[in-house]
Amino acid sequence: MDLHRLWNFCAIILGWFAVFSAVSLLVGIYYTYVLEFCIFTVTSLAEKVIYMVFYHIFFIMLAWSYGMTILNRPATPSKEFDLSDIEQGQFVRQEKQDFHQDILQCIAKELPIYTVTKNGNIRYCRICNLMMPDRCYHCLACNKCVLKHYSHCFLVNNCVGFSNYKYYFQLLFYVMLHCLFVCTTGLQYAMKFWTQELPYTDAKYPILYMVGVNAVLLLFIVPIFIYHCWLVGKNRTSAENCKPLFFRNIPTNMGFSLGLSKNLKEVFGEEKKYWLLPVYTRKGDGCSFPTGYERENPEQNGIDF
Ligand SMILES: [Zn+2]
Ligand SMILES: [Zn+2]
């Protein structure tokens, strides 16, 4: 087994272990909140009902978006970005990089590729043997090129990219709401247990643990969520935020940002009623994206290379 395969194998095992740990934690919090907290600790019936209803709304939305993030596997480039057998043969026969680029430049004329490397070369994945569409990157953990790639997240054992970014963003949002709700409703009872204002019961330590864990989670999740709000607003992936993009024949600073309203629609879809629901609403095919240049120069109607 070579190192690359060993890394893939470890990534898969680590990923499923992380998912199992996250689900176990979630089940533990659910049990503590519903049984130990709402049923055995809270005394007012009205309070019990309100807490249960709102908690279940947040829990269901969290579980739904988590499931969708895990189950929507990475989208890969369409066949048109593959090199034909003849082109691959030319690649093998010629070792010179310049010659490779000549072939790629020629093929890329037919494809909606706007971004290039820093040196102006067409981006090509030697592992997958394909020309990379804009915003596509090779993921070492998944061992494939992933469309509109953000990063590989072990907590969902999946790549976050074109196929599931909306669900991932919603997952962050609902985890944050869930943690906030558990902390705000549970804190006063945790304080009363801590100061012995409430008599000791078997629920004391599970409730203290639950509030503590959710408070720590909240500290991590809020900055991540704010960062992703910023990325959505700018229509950038986390990968693009780390490395600047280089465009062919377009001013580089324009990027893929289309203005806030359109940037939101690029991730959440055209219909606002579905923005909070983890359902399919994504636009486009993930291989080509409108650019800021087209927005500011609509008469161009595409860019002539
Ligand atoms: Zn690749
Ligand atoms: Zn991946």
Q: Are residues 41 and 170 in the same domain?
A: yes
Is 139 a catalytic site residue? no
Composition of the chain by helix, strand, coil, percent to 5: 60, 5, 35
Among the listed residues 153, 159, 179, 183, the single catalytic one is 153
Q: Quick one: 115 and 89 in the same domain?
A: yes
Token couple for 291: 């650019």
CA of 18 to the centre of ligand 2 (A): 14
Ligand at shortest distance from the CA of 139 = 2
Contacting residues for 143 by C-beta, under 8 A, at least 6 apart: 4, 8, 127
d(CA 107, CA 205): 64
pLDDT digits (tens, 9 = 90+) for 280-291: 998 899 999 988
Residue 244 lies in a domain: yes
Q: What gap in Å lies between CA 149 and CA 240, rounded to an integer?
A: 9
Is 9 inside any structural domain? Answer: no
Output the CA 75–ligand 1 centroid distance in Å: 12
pLDDT of residue 51: 97
pLDDT band at 296 (very low <50, low <70, confident <90, very high): low
203 and 253, same domain (yes or no): yes
* Number of domains making up the chain: 2
With CA atoms as reference, report the closest residue to 272 among 264, 288, 158, 93: 264
Give the Å distance between the CA of 162 and the centre of ligand 2.
12
Q: Check whether residue 246 and residue 130 sit in a common domain.
A: no
pLDDT of 303 strictly over 50 = no
Instruction: Give residue 159 CA to ligand 1 midpoint distance, Å.
Output: 13
Q: At residue 250, does pLDDT exceed 90?
A: no
Note whether 109 and 227 are same-domain residues. Answer: no
pLDDT value for 294: 67
What number of CA atoms fall less than 13 Å from residue 145's CA on the CB side? 24
Supply 101's token pair: 């680029």
Q: Is the pLDDT confidence value at 274 over 60? A: yes
Neighbours of 284 (CB within 10 A): 12
The answer on 83 and 65 residing in a single domain is no
Ligand in closest contact with the CA of 130: 1
Nearest C-alpha neighbor of 290 from the set 301, 282, 299: 301
pLDDT at 65 over 80: yes
Answer yes or no: do 166 and 244 share one domain. yes
Label residue 170 exposed, middle or buried (CB < 10 Å: 0-12, 13-18, 19+).
Answer: buried
pLDDT value at residue 281: 94
What DSSP state is assigned to residue 195? T
Question: Where among 153, 169, 191 does a domain terminate?
Answer: 153
* Domain assignment present for 57: yes
Range of the domain at 95: 79-153
Would residue 283 count as lying in a domain?
no
| Percent of the chain surpassing pLDDT 90 | 68
Kindly state whether residues 242 and 269 are assigned to the same domain.
Answer: yes
Does residue 284 lie in a domain region?
Answer: no
Residues 270 and 180 in one domain: yes
Alpha-carbon distance of 173 to 153, in angstroms, equals 16
Q: How confident is the model at residue 86 (pLDDT cuts 50, 70, 90)?
A: confident
Do residues 179 and 238 share a domain?
yes
User: Is the pLDDT score of 300 beyond 70?
Assistant: no
Q: Are residues 167 and 266 in the same domain?
A: yes
- Which ligand lies nearest the alpha carbon of 156? 2
Q: What is the mean pLDDT of residues 6-29?
A: 92
- Distance of CA 83 from the midpoint of ligand 1 (Å): 13
pLDDT tens readout for residues 154-189? 999 999 999 999 999 999 999 999 999 999 999 999
Q: How confident is the model at residue 295 (pLDDT cuts 50, 70, 90)?
A: low
